[in-house]
Amino acid sequence: MKFICIGKNYLAHAREMGWQIPQEPMFFFKPENALPSQAGIFPYPEFSQDVHYEIEVAVRIDAGGRNLTEEQAAGCYSHISLGIDFTARDLQKQQKELGFPWEICKSFEDSAPVGSWIPLEEFGGDIQNLSFTLEVNGEGKQQGATRDMIFPVNQLIAHISRYVTLDPGDIMFTGTPEGIGPVQPGDTLKGYLEGTEVITVTVQ
């Protein structure tokens, strides 16, 4: 199992980070052990002083493949959730300056908690018509709508599958909207999909 994470997929977030708007999807991987060993707990890593939350719609691949068309991609998943793409922002800044890849700031142990999986049908069946929010300690921090994605989900799946086989159980994080910010030990993060709480994470 692997995590495939999309970067820069919402205009307002790309702007807040000072990124150029991508011409094609940008992605990176997280390893299987980015899923926290203790559900609902994110242990703050000792190597960073500036870890940020990024709430993202997560898609679980049921039937994967290689070189998928967008039509085939639409049949690859049936359940969705929310995930948090924890990012060591201080290390990311260093990596960007050095022109180095992002593994140490994005792909570390426990960096990708995921909430409960819910059938997309329960939310009406259209993955590009979902709203989601993140609260930190009860305060609203991020608010997103999947219609605002630069590259929609089926296009993302088709694109990624040109480069690597998607396997059943793989999880795709589809990018974060604006409003990212830091977390501290003791914080509690709650993510809501169409108003339903699907993920709770406590920073330890």
Residue ranges binding Mn ion (CB under 5 A): 54, 85, 176
Nearest-approach distance from CB 56 to Mn ion, in angstroms: 6
Comparing every residue's Cβ against Mn ion, the nearest one is 85
Minimum CB separation of residue 30 from Mn ion in Å reads: 10
Least distance in angstroms from the C-beta of 57 to Mn ion: 11
Cβ at position 13, least distance to Mn ion in Å: 8
CB atoms within 10 A of CB 61: 24
Q: What angle do CA 187, 52, 167 make, to 5 degrees?
A: 105
Reported in sequence order, the residue ranges of 65-175 that DSSP labels E, i.e. its strands, are 77-84, 87-88, 118-119, 131-136, 139-145, 171-173
Indicate the residue among 154 and 176 with the shorter CB distance to Mn ion.
176
Least distance to Mn ion from the beta carbon of 112, Å? Answer: 10
CB nearer to Mn ion: pick between 22 and 65: 22
Q: Which is nearer to Mn ion, 56 or 186 (CB)?
A: 56
State CA 190 to chain mean position distance: 14
CB of 7 to Mn ion, least distance (A): 6
CB 115 within 8 A of CB 198: yes
Question: Which backbone phi and psi does 78 adopt, to 5 degrees?
Answer: -140, -15
- Measured from the CB atom, the residue of 101 and 125 that comes closer to Mn ion is 101
Choice between 77 and 102, CB closer to Mn ion: 102
Max CA separation in the chain (angstroms): 45
DSSP β-bridge partners for residue 188: 202
Q: Which residues are within 8 A (CB) of 23 and not within 5 positions of it... i.e. 6 or more apart?
A: none
CA distance 7 to 175: 5
User: For residues 65 and 109, which CB has a smaller minimum distance to Mn ion in the complex?
Assistant: 109
